[in-house]
Amino acid sequence: MEKNFAEGKTILVTGATDGIGFATAKHLTGVGAHVLVHGRSKQKGINALTQISRAGCAGSADLYLADFSSFSDVQRMAEEIKRENNELHLLINNAGNFYKDRTLTDDGIEMSFAVNHLAPFLLTLLLLDLIKASAPARIINVSSSAHKMIKQVDFDNLQGEKHYDPFEAYALSKLGNVLFSQSLSRRLTGSGVTVNSLHPGVVNTKLLKKSYDLDGISAEEGAQTQLMLATATEMDAVSGGYFQNSQEKRPSDIALDEGLQDRFWQVSEELVSSYLK
């Protein structure tokens, strides 16, 4: 087996009970990693672990459950992970969803913004000390080329307060992923932790069906870019990049605006502040 970064490492993959998250978790377990499989449904999680076990993978997998629309659930899972794992070398923030109608979480946050951006933002910050202590380590945020739809951020409409368009809300949350990646990468300079984001391609998943009713590439194909970022030794020192088709690409201009990155971070931190204490 060819040596790669993931071999023998502890890795958390969110949204890993189906789609590209499951394909990612299965592959990483296959190369000898200890994979923490996150899901929302216990039954789907058990099914995912069963499939991984039947594949005769060299590594191991454990299940962690959390509903990303609940920040208290994200906090609980983070504490559970820290309690049960001494190391975390790789965090792949893969979970995401699409919401046709504007609905609010129990925290009063618009669902797209909460699940796709704030939940991984919160989870990452809660696990950051463990990740830094495990360095060299990597954080990979699954975004989307949809982030390029947003040409200007209206901070008075971050959660569709004035008007709600499901595609715009999804695109804004995916822009949030890139902004967070860029800002976190700068903050972690010299720590031994790299941060990169990516567009997986138009993947044939339940999210695609729910949003665009289109067919796309397979989950296995869609997982290739994040798997490259997770395993390639040549990525050891690469941070602050945005990738597509396993190649570094330029994200949107506003995604590279450091002022916007910092303001987005500040607003995000304020929205989850009670769960960071």
Model pLDDT for residues 240-257, shown as the tens digit of each residue: 999 999 999 999 999 999
C-alpha dihedral sign at 251, 254, 258, 261:
negative
pLDDT, tens digit, 9 for 90 and up, residues 70-88: 999 999 999 999 999 999 9
User: CA-CA distance, 38 to 137, in Å (whole number)?
Assistant: 19
Read off the pLDDT band of 57 (50, 70, 90): confident
- pLDDT at residue number 1: 40
Encoding tokens for residue 155? 């901070």
Indicate whether 76 belongs to any domain: yes
Domain that holds residue 219: 10-272
Share of residues in the chain with pLDDT > 70 (%):
94
Indicate whether 2 belongs to any domain: no
Which residues have CB under 8 Å from 97's CB, separation 6+?
111, 112, 115, 116, 207, 210
Residue 182 has pLDDT above 60, yes or no: yes
Residue 215 has pLDDT above 70, yes or no: no
User: CA-CA distance, 221 to 88, in Å (whole number)?
Assistant: 26
Read off the pLDDT band of 225 (50, 70, 90): very high
Residue 98 has pLDDT above 80, yes or no: yes
Phi, psi of 193 (to 5 degrees): -110, 125
User: CA-CA distance, 214 to 209, in Å (whole number)?
Assistant: 6
Single pTM value for the model: 0.94
CA atoms within 13 A on the CB side of 198: 29
Domain tally, the chain: 1
Helix %, strand %, coil % of the chain (to 5): 45, 15, 35
Indicate whether 172 belongs to any domain: yes
Average pLDDT over every residue of 218-234 = 93
Residue 214 has pLDDT above 60, yes or no: no
Q: What is the CATH number of the domain that holds 258?
A: 3.40.50.720
Indicate whether 3 belongs to any domain: no
- pLDDT at residue number 217: 82
Indicate whether 247 belongs to any domain: yes
Indicate whether 4 belongs to any domain: no
Indicate whether 277 belongs to any domain: no
Residue 226 has pLDDT above 60, yes or no: yes
Q: Mean pLDDT over all residues of the chain?
A: 94
Q: Is 275 a catalytic residue?
A: no
Residue 209 has pLDDT above 60, yes or no: no
Average pLDDT over every residue of 166-182 = 98
The catalytic position among 99, 170, 242, 275 is 170
